[in-house]
Amino acid sequence: MVPLARLNDCLSCDGQMKSPIPPHRAIELPGLHAYSSRISIAAGDSIGFHVSSTVPYRFSLCQLGPDVDNFSSDIVIHTLECSSPVVQAIHPGSYVAVDQGLPSDVVLDALTLECWIKPWSFEKRQSVISQFDWPHQCGFQLSIARDGGIEFYCGSGGEYEPACLLTGPRLVEMQWTHVVATFDRGALTLWVNGQNAAVGRGPVSCLPGRSPLRLGACAIHGSAEHFLDADLTMPVLYAERLNDAAIRQRYSESGLHAATGNNVLACWPLSEENGDCICDVSQYGRKGRIINHATWMIVGPAFNPAKVNRFTGRTGAYEPSDDPSRGHGLRLASDDLVDCRWTETHRVAIPSDAKPGIYVGRFDFELDGDRMRNDVTFIVKRSSERSAAPCMVLCATNTWLAYSSSPFAKNRSAPATWPRRGVGLPNSHPEAPTYNTYTAHSGGQPTYYAGLRMPWPNASPTALYAPDGSGFSQWSRLERHLHVWLDSHGYDYDVITDLDLHRDPDLLTAYRTVIVNGHSEYWSAPAYQGLDDYLAKGGTAIVLSGNTMYWRVSFNADGTVMEQRKTNTPQHPGEGPGEKHAAPGGIHGEQYHSQDGKRGGLWRFNDRTCSNVIGLESAGWGFASAEDFGTYRVKDAKHFLFHEPFETSLTAGASFGHGPGGSLPRAVGHEWDLTMASISKMTRHIPPDAVLPATQDGIQVIAQGMRPVPGPMDAYMDYFEGSTASLDGLSAEMIYWERPQGGRVFNAGAVGASWVLAVDPHMDALVRNVLHHFGVCPVTTPLPKP
């Protein structure tokens, strides 16, 4: 048997984790890719840019100019030529590195590896537990073959020996399986779900070798590789061969109990549910460090999703910490990456008098004979030395981040149109990550995290969005329409990001009004509560957004990783298989965040309807073709906002929110919002375990967003995400609301509301009226129209 005292002498872990990662599979990207050190910076501070490039380039720092479609008038603050570019690799793939493995020279007469595993996909070799570095330091490894077969290798710690490999049955995708591999003086066995599944012969004794101990990876020529696409729970190493009865007992426990006894070499219950360090509860304290984040708060094999309330997270409802059968899983992915860890390439000081707004680090270069441009978008906030403007504009950077698929997309010579449903562009490297919160990891795992230390090319001010030919965009380009319009009328305004609001919700109190702009879909609890509190104290809000305040997000302590949880709400036993309009997601029960332990998912399923804050709730989407965009029709032509102080000349039933003659751009499309009064009419079935919120008092609907002809990809949804029909083409409602709890709100209820400001004189006058009544007037002479 293993001399346990000697093992203990060799092992310790003080919990202090170094930021550089161990040697890891590297991917070098062709072309130029970059990100900024922060997504927002105050005027007077400096900002860094992290660049990987295979070609020389010209770098410029620019303040975007007065034309959304023409960048020749951008203000160049700084420029330089880079003739000696540096390629910086990415290192995707999550796993657990255990610094203190089993001593390389200790002879093992017996060894057992145990874990529960739920594989997501196969087609490539994956390592589960290993102290194995192919081909020269091959100790032991539990792995999954390309065809899904479970494998156990137990060797001499030196050269790879094919005869030391035992192959067992194929695992089943998306299904928890208990696997035990034993070695006893040359006898190899594999147990699957309490049954002896394979036997074989290996060496008389096993030497672990000099390779580090890993969970979810092994090494090839010294670098971590063969990353696991699976959920893992309760991995254990024993200095003995577990007998048949013990294996069956461990299987019956469903991963809910840690292994005990003097022969336990390591046991990781994975109960931390957050952070980068995992604890070993054996006497040896083999702590592990998670590389590339991974995913916490994953349910185990004994979890019963029926315990989790479908539509509420109220006090007294399900709490993960109170569920003894929930289990503790850690989800690993071969393409996990939230931080490129690139060295800073350039640092530029922002002038202290820089105007708040959207800026870019601009990279111009040639690639394969074509001229290319890569803009890295960031926000400049007002200097701390300057007084607040009357108006604050919120940039929906959480949404930019949530949609950031293909961070390493191929460089393009023309503006890109991003496909619908968050699908990415062609990738610069076949193994570079492409996932975002709407698309799965390469192994099929749902995406719950997005990193800010990554490129986000979709946030470029040139990025368009489906449908092709519409000229529509989300993200920074859409939001720029408002910024340019405010500038053209001489309004003074400040700009902040969602992350700034998350960190300091009280900053709203400095402003007369707050404009929520674009596609402001993802809100953290501090930001959500901060806006509600600001309004309750008499503040005002102008919402030129649709699908607003829909999903809950959170951030890690340093604000570099955003978490959101999309999960699939199950059907009630008494309900039929009604169609649901829901984003792809994980299983019900996984909506609890690792960053704060609280329930995530839709705000409305967290007992907080945003209609209580801004008067409207999300009601659907449609983006099949350019013809799917609708317009507003006046409902209350006598309302003062149509007349004071600027006359819109709109009459009852008149259309507005579009280009000349009803042409594009048109405001009502992509996604839209309605009052609870309308959504209640569209909600034909209230689930037995749910409550439909009450309608709000005092809301004045002044216009209706109409789309009379349904598009082929339309989705109208009731309050519980069920498929429903529109109310005669009603898609959005434009409201004015003097909230009984304090504050005033103007809400246009459509993503494209600011898109039409520069082309529709009626919308132009209406929004100027809103600003006037909310205490905001131009401070400079309006700019002449270009």
The average pLDDT across 42-50 equals: 98
**pLDDT score, position 623:** 81
- Residue 740: is its pLDDT beyond 80? yes
**pLDDT score, position 470:** 92
The DSSP string of 335-368 is T--SB--PPP-EEEEPPTTPPSEEEEEEEEEEET
**CB atoms inside a 10 Å sphere around CB 413:** 12
- Residue 137: is its pLDDT beyond 50? yes
Measured CA to CA, the distance from residue 683 to residue 78 in angstroms comes to: 55
The pLDDT tens digits for 377-425 are: 999 999 999 999 999 999 999 999 999 999 999 999 999 999 988 899 9
Number of helices (H), then strands (E), in the chain: 9, 46
The pLDDT tens digits for 228-282 are: 999 999 999 999 999 999 999 999 999 999 999 999 999 999 999 999 999 999 9
pLDDT band at 570 (very low <50, low <70, confident <90, very high): confident
pLDDT band at 2 (very low <50, low <70, confident <90, very high): very low
**pLDDT score, position 569:** 87
Six-digit token pair at 166? 């035992």
**pLDDT score, position 780:** 79
CB-based contacts of 725: which residues, under 8 Å, 6+ apart? 682, 716
Residue written as tokens 């102080």? 645
pLDDT band at 577 (very low <50, low <70, confident <90, very high): low
Partners of 543 in the beta sheet? 516, 747
Q: Which of 15-29, 226-240, 683-697 has the highest mean pLDDT?
A: 226-240
User: For the whole prediction, is pTM greater than 0.75?
Assistant: yes
Determine the 3-state secondary structure of 235 from DSSP. strand
Question: What backbone phi and psi angles, to 5 degrees, belong to 719?
Answer: -65, -25
% residues pLDDT > 70 (the chain): 95
**CB atoms inside a 10 Å sphere around CB 451:** 22
Measured CA to CA, the distance from residue 208 to residue 197 in angstroms comes to: 24
- Do residues 237 and 113 touch, judged by C-beta distance below 8 A? yes
The average pLDDT across 464-468 equals: 92
Least confident of 310-314, 524-528, 539-543, 762-766: 310-314
Partners of 513 in the beta sheet? 391, 540
The pLDDT tens digits for 383-396 are: 999 999 999 999 99
What is the b/e burial string over 363-378, where b = at least 16 CB atoms within 10 angstroms of the residue's CB? Answer: bebebeeeebbbbbbb
Six-digit token pair at 447? 């995406």
- Residue 10: is its pLDDT beyond 50? no
**pLDDT score, position 17:** 36
Measured CA to CA, the distance from residue 212 to residue 210 in angstroms comes to: 6
Task: Using the Cα atoms of residue 745, residue 746, residue 749 and residue 751 in order, give the sign of their dihedral.
Answer: negative
- Residue 323: is its pLDDT beyond 80? yes
**pLDDT score, position 557:** 96
- Do residues 68 and 477 touch, judged by C-beta distance below 8 A? yes
The average pLDDT across 683-690 equals: 91
**pLDDT score, position 315:** 66
Least confident of 290-294, 416-420, 739-743: 416-420
- Residue 9: is its pLDDT beyond 50? no
Six-digit token pair at 290? 């998670």
The average pLDDT across 571-594 equals: 78
**pLDDT score, position 581:** 62
The DSSP string of 238-252 is ESSPPPHHHHHHHHH
What mean pLDDT value characterizes the chain?
A: 94
**pLDDT score, position 573:** 67
- Residue 574: is its pLDDT beyond 80? no
Residue 194 has, within 13 A of its CA and on its CB side, a CA count of 10
**pLDDT score, position 711:** 83
Q: Kindly tell me the burial class for residue 5, based on how many C-beta atoms sit within 10 Å of its own C-beta (0-12, 13-18, 19 or more).
A: exposed
**pLDDT score, position 784:** 61
**pLDDT score, position 15:** 33
The average pLDDT across 450-456 equals: 98
- Residue 672: is its pLDDT beyond 90? yes
**pLDDT score, position 709:** 79
The CA-atom distances, in angstroms, between 570 and each of 108, 230, 511 are 48, 22, 43
The pLDDT tens digits for 69-125 are: 999 999 999 999 999 999 999 999 999 999 999 999 899 999 999 999 999 999 899
Q: Choose among 733, 746, 751: nearest CA to 539.
A: 746
Measured CA to CA, the distance from residue 606 to residue 227 in angstroms comes to: 35
The average pLDDT across 199-223 equals: 96
Nearest-10 Cα torsion for 718, 549, 455, 229: -50
**pLDDT, greater one: 653 or 312:** 653
**pLDDT score, position 389:** 98
Q: Residue 453 gets which letter from DSSP? A: B
**pLDDT score, position 422:** 86
**CB atoms inside a 10 Å sphere around CB 664:** 18
pLDDT band at 572 (very low <50, low <70, confident <90, very high): confident
The average pLDDT across 542-570 equals: 96
Determine the 3-state secondary structure of 508 from DSSP. helix
**pLDDT score, position 407:** 97
**pLDDT score, position 22:** 97
- Do residues 168 and 216 touch, judged by C-beta distance below 8 A? no
**pLDDT score, position 783:** 64
**pLDDT score, position 785:** 55
